[in-house]
Every structure is written in structure tokens, then in C-alpha cells.
């Protein structure tokens, strides 16, 4: 009884503050002396990238962005990959084909080869490190399609890691509001794209994005559904070449900055504690939806190993023991080499890659890991 009375009169601690306390306790020890800088970045203005809309007739958009000193970080990385390849070729090293993971191989002599190139039609402009200029809002072309979509540029890394090849059947299991779905469409390579999200209201936002950015004939070919992603395998197992599993998570940046829809609100404690379980179930569902020989990319916008590497390790184990499916995590360290001018990466992920927010490059956090199904 005494406890009840205390609880009723206890001062309300905002969810953002609870989130910060929680992160201080867990990320402080995890990141050590890097935590104060990451913490400061999380509490400062988020940096955006402008994902260029290839469906809009926006000839002048790229020139205008470049005039303001923004650059397409993806073609910069592709150029970097190309020059590393040349250096490698001069040294007589060989590279694994990009269609199969695009990862590193090791020559018989044991020297790692340079990274394979990033093949993508996606263009995303960012301002240089330390430049905090904001993009002006996108404007419509003569057909009403918007010129670019503003998003955390690091969110494109999971899409690039998926490495969609011409005519691939692609599933975006947790798709809303649709930033990555739009990026997948910008590759121009999806043979079929299925975009699913359990939330009806968020699926409406996905429809809005599709209608603002994608011409009717292209968006009508995207199948949008609102199933619980955990049940996907029962509906369509083993049919996709590429599956993106961009799971609900503690959305660390949102949780320290916004009180609305904050997962650290006391009434959502149970939901928050159950997140790793939901993430695991969604990833397993994604693995089951993939064809043998296909790939799954798992991503979160959290720094938490419990929601990142642990989910990957557990999913690999369960896929093997319960479903007799062998998967292995691909080495994505070439992403660190290619994109280090734009993003700050953590160097201590056991599996996958993690973009750490930094005041001079305030993107992320974004964790991504690619699993190849044997
Ligand atoms: N991929 C999206 C993008 O780039 O715009 C963001 C996805 S957000 C991180 C996670 C999404 O998972 C939310 O929209 C949420 O509604 C959805 N979700 C949560 N539980 C789900 C479930 N059981 N099945 C499918 N989607 C789910």
C-alpha cells in the first residue's frame, strides 16, 4: 500500500530522460571513452542526406546540390573502390564477384584483397563532414513527383549491402514509412518488390511516399501488405532473392530527443523488453522467406548489442537447429573502408557494421549485418 501511494505521487520522469539514463548505464561501459562524444551527437541536430529521385525529371537538382557543396557519397565510394581495385590489380590481387556478397576474399598468400566496387544506381547527396547546412525541402517536377527524399544517409547502407541485382525478387519485411523501400526502387533492379508492415497507419505513410515519389506504373507493381512479418514464411516461404529486415528497435536517437511515441515511456516497458525477441522472430522469418543462395540484411537504428549482434547469432543458431538452414554472416568491413569519409564506424562489432553518431558526421546509429543463405 505504501508503495502505491509513493508511485501515485512520484514525479514523472520524461521518457527521454529515462532513455538517456538507460543508455548511460549500458552504452557508457560498452563504448568506454567514445560514449561522451556519441552521447553529445545523439543530443544534437541529426544530419540528413538527400536521396535523389530518379523517377522525377530533376536534371538541375544534382547540379544545384553540388553548387551548394553537397556530393553524392555513393558515387564517391564507388570511385574509391575503383581506385583501390586498380592498386590491387597492380599488386596482382583478385577480387570476389560483387553479385555474391561483394565482400573480401583472401589471396592464397593470405593478403586481403581490396574491396569490390559498390554497384548501385542510388544517388544520395550529403554535405561534407563538419558542414551542418540543411537541405531545403524537396520540390515537385512538372508531373508532381518530388525531387529528393530527406533521410539519415546511413540508412542507405543496409540497402546497399543487400546489393539488389537485375530482376531480383525483393522483400522489405518491415517497410513503413518507406525510406528504404524508396531506395530499393531507386536501384531500378527489383524484378518484384513486396513491401510489408504490420502497422496500418504507418503503411498509409508508405503509400504517401510512393505516390509522392514514384510514377503510377512503377508503384502499382509494388505489392504493399500489412501482415505480421513473423507469419511471413507461412504465406510465402523461400521465394525472395533479397530480404530486408529493418526491425522495430529502441530507435536510440528518437528516444533521447522526442517524447512522442517513445519506447522508454513507463507503460511500454514490457514492449521494450520484448524487442530482442520480436527482432529475432522477424529475422528468422526473413531467413525463411529467402531462397537458398539468397541474402538477408538485418538492420536497426540502435547501438545495443542485444538488439544487434546477439539477434544475429541467435538467428543463425535457430535457423540451423530448428529449420536445417545454414546461413553465415558476410564480412562487410569494405563498407568501413569505402564510406569512412562520410560516416563514423565502430570498429568493434563481432558481426556486421555499426555507424556511430559523431558531431562532425551526425548520422546513425545504424547497425546492419548481411546473412547469406546456403
Ligand atoms: N524500413 C522502414 C523505413 O526505412 O522507412 C522503417 C522501419 S521501422 C524501423 C520498423 C517497422 O517495423 C515499423 O514501421 C513497425 O510498424 C514495423 N513492425 C513492427 N512489428 C512488426 C511485425 N511484427 N511485422 C511487420 N512489421 C512490424
The three cell numbers locating residue 332:
562487410
Nearest-CA residue for atom 8 of ligand 1: 248
Q: Which helix (H) or strand (E) covers residue 8, if one does?
A: helix 2-9
Residues catalogued as catalytic: 301
Name the 3-class secondary structure at 67. helix
Residue-wise pLDDT for 62-82, tens only, equals: 999 999 999 999 999 999 998
**Which of 98-112, 218-232, 259-273, 300-314 comes out lowest in average pLDDT?**
98-112
Q: How confident is the model at residue 234 (pLDDT cuts 50, 70, 90)?
A: confident
Residues with CB under 6 A from ligand 1: 155, 174-180, 197-199, 202, 228-230, 246-248
Please report the pLDDT score of residue 235 as a whole number. 72
Biggest CA–CA distance in the chain, Å, is 77
Mutate to test the pocket of ligand 1, among 198, 268, 280, 367 (most ligand atoms within 8 A of CB): 198
Q: Cα–Cα distance between 292 and 362 in angstroms, integer? A: 37
DSSP 308-353: THHHHHHHHHHHHHHH---EEEPP-HHHHHHHTTT-PBPS--SSSE
Atom of ligand 1 nearest to the CA of 248: 10
Nearest-CA residue for atom 1 of ligand 1: 175
Please report the pLDDT score of residue 59 as a whole number. 73
Residue-wise pLDDT for 317-344, tens only, equals: 999 999 999 999 999 999 999 999 999 9
**Dihedral-angle region of residue 135 (phi above 0 means left; psi in -120 to 50 means alpha; beta otherwise):** beta
The ipTM, to two decimals, is 1.00
Q: Cα–Cα distance between 273 and 266 in angstroms, integer? A: 11
Within 13 Å, how many C-alpha atoms sit on residue 365's CB side?
Answer: 31
Is a pLDDT exceeding 60 seen at residue 105?
no
Atom of ligand 1 nearest to the CA of 172: 1
33-373 homologous superfamily: Vaccinia Virus protein VP39 (3.40.50.150)
Mean pLDDT computed over every residue of the chain: 91
Angle between helices 179-186 and 200-213 (to 10 degrees): 40
Atom of ligand 1 nearest to the CA of 249: 9
Q: Cα–Cα distance between 107 and 104 in angstroms, integer? A: 10
Is a pLDDT exceeding 90 seen at residue 185?
yes
Nearest residue to 105 (alpha-carbon basis) of 89, 121, 92, 116: 116
Mutate to test the pocket of ligand 1, among 248, 255, 274, 363 (most ligand atoms within 8 A of CB): 248
Domain residue limits, the chain: 33-373
- Cα-to-centroid distance, 176 and ligand 1 (Å): 6
DSSP 222-258: EEEE---GGGHHHHHTT-EEEEEEE-----HHHHHH-
**Which of 21-25, 95-99, 133-137, 295-299 comes out lowest in average pLDDT?**
95-99
Please report the pLDDT score of residue 110 as a whole number. 44
- Cα-to-centroid distance, 175 and ligand 1 (Å): 6
For residues 192-201, give the mean pLDDT.
97
Higher pLDDT, 90 or 131: 131
Q: Cα–Cα distance between 94 and 106 in angstroms, integer? A: 8
- Cα-to-centroid distance, 56 and ligand 1 (Å): 27
- Cα-to-centroid distance, 153 and ligand 1 (Å): 18
Q: How confident is the model at residue 237 (pLDDT cuts 50, 70, 90)?
A: confident
Residue-wise pLDDT for 13-41, tens only, equals: 999 999 999 999 999 999 999 999 999 99
Nearest 10 degrees: Cα torsion 330, 115, 118, 369: 20
Nearest residue to 293 (alpha-carbon basis) of 358, 359, 239, 368: 239
Atom of ligand 1 nearest to the CA of 300: 9
Please report the pLDDT score of residue 57 as a whole number. 79
Name the 3-class secondary structure at 49. strand
Is a pLDDT exceeding 90 seen at residue 155?
yes
- Cα-to-centroid distance, 295 and ligand 1 (Å): 19
Cα-based distances in Å from 113 to 76, 77, 85, 102, 186: 20, 17, 8, 12, 29
- Cα-to-centroid distance, 199 and ligand 1 (Å): 8
Number of separate helices (H) and strands (E) present in the chain: 15, 12
Amino acid at each position: 500500500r505504501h508503495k502505491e501511494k509513493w508511485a501515485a505521487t512520484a514525479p514523472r520522469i520524461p521518457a527521454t530522460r529515462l532513455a538517456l539514463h538507460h543508455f548511460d548505464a549500458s552504452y557508457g561501459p560498452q563504448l568506454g571513452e567514445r560514449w561522451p562524444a556519441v552521447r553529445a551527437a545523439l543530443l544534437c541536430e541529426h544530419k540528413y542526406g538527400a536521396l535523389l529521385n530518379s523517377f522525377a525529371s530533376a536534371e538541375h537538382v544534382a547540379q544545384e546540390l553540388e553548387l551548394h557543396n553537397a556530393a553524392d557519397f555513393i558515387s564517391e565510394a564507388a570511385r574509391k573502390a575503383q581506385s583501390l581495385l586498380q592498386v590491387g590489380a597492380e599488386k596482382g590481387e583478385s577480387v570476389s564477384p560483387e553479385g555474391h556478397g561483394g565482400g573480401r576474399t583472401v589471396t592464397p598468400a593470405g593478403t586481403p584483397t581490396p574491396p569490390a566496387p559498390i554497384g548501385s544506381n542510388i544517388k544520395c547527396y550529403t554535405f561534407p563532414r563538419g558542414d551542418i547546412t540543411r537541405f531545403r525541402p524537396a520540390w515537385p517536377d512538372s508531373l508532381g513527383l518530388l525531387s529528393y527524399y530527406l533521410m539519415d544517409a546511413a540508412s542507405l547502407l543496409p540497402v546497399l549491402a543487400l546489393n539488389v541485382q537485375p530482376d531480383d525478387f525483393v522483400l522489405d519485411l518491415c517497410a513503413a514509412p518507406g525510406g528504404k523501400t524508396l531506395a530499393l526502387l531507386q536501384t531500378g533492379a527489383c524484378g518484384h518488390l513486396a513491401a510489408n508492415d504490420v502497422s496500418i497507419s504507418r503503411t498509409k505513410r508508405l503509400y504517401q511516399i510512393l505516390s509522392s515519389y514514384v510514377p503510377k506504373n512503377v508503384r502499382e507493381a509494388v505489392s504493399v501488405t500489412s501482415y505480421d512479418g513473423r507469419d511471413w514464411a507461412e504465406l510465402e516461404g523461400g521465394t525472395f532473392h533479397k530480404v530486408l529486415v529493418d526491425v522495430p528497435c529502441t530507435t536510440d536517437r528518437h528516444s533521447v530527443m522526442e517524447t512522442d511515441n517513445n519506447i522508454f515511456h513507463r507503460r511500454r516497458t514490457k514492449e521494450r523488453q520484448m524487442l530482442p525477441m520480436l527482432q529475432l522472430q522477424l529475422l528468422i522469418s526473413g531467413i525463411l522467406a529467402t531462397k537458398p543462395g539468397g541474402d538477408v540484411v538485418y538492420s536497426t537504428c540502435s547501438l545495443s548489442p542485444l538488439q544487434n549482434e546477439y539477434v544475429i547469432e541467435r538467428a543463425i543458431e535457430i535457423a540451423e537447429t530448428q529449420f536445417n538452414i545454414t546461413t553465415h554472416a558476410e564480412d562487410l568491413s569494405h563498407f568501413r573502408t569505402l564510406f569512412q569519409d562520410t560516416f563514423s564506424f565502430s570498429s568493434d562489432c563481432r558481426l556486421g557494421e555499426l555507424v556511430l553518431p559523431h558531431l562532425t558526421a551526425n548520422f546513425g546509429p545504424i547497425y546492419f549485418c548481411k546473412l547469406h543463405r546456403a
